[in-house]
Structure formats: C-alpha cells, structure tokens
Structure 1
Amino acid sequence: MKVLVDENLSPALAHALQALFQGEHTIVHLREKFGPGVKDVEWIPVLSSEGRWVVLSGDRRITRNELEYQAFRNSRLIGFFLSRGLQKAKVTKQMERILFLWETIEKQAAIVAGGAMFELPMRSSLIEQLKR
C-alpha cells in the first residue's frame, strides 16, 4: 500500500509509520513528495495519476471546498481523515489510533473505489464513510 500523510499531520508520524512498515508499505509525507505549501487541487491529480494511494489527513476542508472535493472524488485516492478530536490530539494519540485502526484501513482501502473518504474515530473501532 502506498500512503501519503498530508501536510497538516506531523512528518514524524509519516517517518515512524515508514520505519514500522518498511518493505511492506511505502509511506511518505506530502512535503517530502511535493514540497511545502502545495495546494490540494495540485497534488491530488498528480498523486492519482501515479495509481492507487491512501491519504491520511486531518484536513477536512477537502470535504467542504467544492474544487478540492470534486478533485478527490474523481481521483484514484482513498482518504482517511482524522476526526476533529483526533486531529487536535497529540501526535502520540494520533499514532496510537492509526496503528489501532491500521488493519481496518488496509482492508477498507483494498475493497473500495477511488475517491472514497472515511473518518478515523477518536475512540471507536468503526471507520465510517464520510458523506458530504
């Protein structure tokens, strides 16, 4: 699985996941791949053209901004967005939850079509699909 950790999450989180899943998954931070400050409508189609990627993000604006939303929904990307509470949590809590949900993320990413978006909850083990 190829995973992009969005700019609003810590690069340390991406590096830790990459170290943990070395040889099994490719995990990069957005800044490493595209540089700082790249706009969502710029990186989404580029990443989609590279094939199926999973995006870990706390940026729920993608679901509210029409251009970003349509770019993502029309892509080959699968989005997993941290819930509001999880986005505000310390990076250690974010990592704990991502690791707890990792197998579910893998399974879900393997069976859904590109453009799907899900929310990673603060407490539950259920990942719900985001509806606008």
Structure 2
Amino acid sequence: MKVFFDHNMSPALARALRELFRDQHEIAILSEKFARTATDIEWISGLNREGRWIVISEDRRITRNHAEYTAFRNSKLVGIFLAKAVHKAPVVKKMERILAVWPALEVLSETVEGGAMFELPINGTRVRQLKS
C-alpha cells in the first residue's frame, strides 16, 4: 500500500509510520515529493499519474472546493480525511486513530475505486465513506 500525507499532517507522524511499516508499505510526505508551495490540484494530479495512493489529510477543503473535489474524485486516489474531533486532537491521538483503522486502509487500498473519500473517526475502527 502507498500512503501519502499532505502538508497539513505532521511529518513526524508520517516518518514514524514509515519506520513502523518499513518493509510493508510506501509512506510519503508532500514536502518530499512536491514543492511545499504545490497546490492541492498539482499534488493530486502528480500522485494520480503514479497510480493508487491512500491520501491522509486534515484538509477538508478538498471535499468542498469544486476544482479540488473534482480533481480528487476523477483520480485513482483514495482520501482519508480526519473528522473534526481528530483534527483538533494531539498528534498522539491522531497516530492512535490512524493505527486503529490501518487494517481497514489496507483493505480499501485494494478494493475501493479511485476518487473515493472517507472520514477517519474519533472512535471505532471503521471509516465512513463521504457522500459523492
């Protein structure tokens, strides 16, 4: 599975997951693949050219901005957007939540069509699909 963390997520969190899953998954951070000034549409398009990625983001604007939303929905990417309570939580809680749903992310990476968007909940081990 390939997992991408956008610039709204803690790079330290991404690096910790990269170390944890070193021989199992590819984990990338926006600033490692794109300029920090890259727009959402630029990195969405760039990742799409590379194939399937799970994108973990706190940037819910992607789900509301028409151009970004359309670019994402027409891509091979699968979005995991943090629920508001997770967004406001400390980084340790964010890590806990990501690890709690990690098995579900592995399944989604293999089974869901590109352009799908899900919400990472504050409780439980299931992600909720966002309406299209």
Whether TM-score is above 0.5 comes out as yes
How many residues of Structure 1 are paired with residues of Structure 2 in the alignment? 132
1:92 maps to what in 2? 92
Q: TM-score w.r.t. structure 1 length?
A: 0.97
Q: 1:36 aligned to 2:32?
A: no
Identity, % of aligned pairs? 55
2:79 match: secondary structure: strand
1:23 maps to what in 2? 23
Q: Which runs of 5+ in 2 are unaligned?
A: none
Query: How much has 1:42 moved relative to structure 2?
Result: 0.7
For 1:56-111, what per-residue CA distance to the aligned partner results, in whole angstroms no more than 9, with x for missing partners?
Answer: 11111001000000000000001111101101111110001100110011112211
Q: Which runs of 5+ in 1 are unaligned?
A: none
Query: Which is further off, 86-95 or 31-40?
Result: 31-40
Query: How much has 1:36 moved relative to structure 2?
Result: 1.1
Say what the alpha-carbon RMSD is for the aligned residues: 0.9
2:59 maps to what in 1? 59
Q: 1:118 aligned to 2:118?
A: yes
Question: Separation in 2 of the partners of 1:66 and 1:96?
Answer: 31
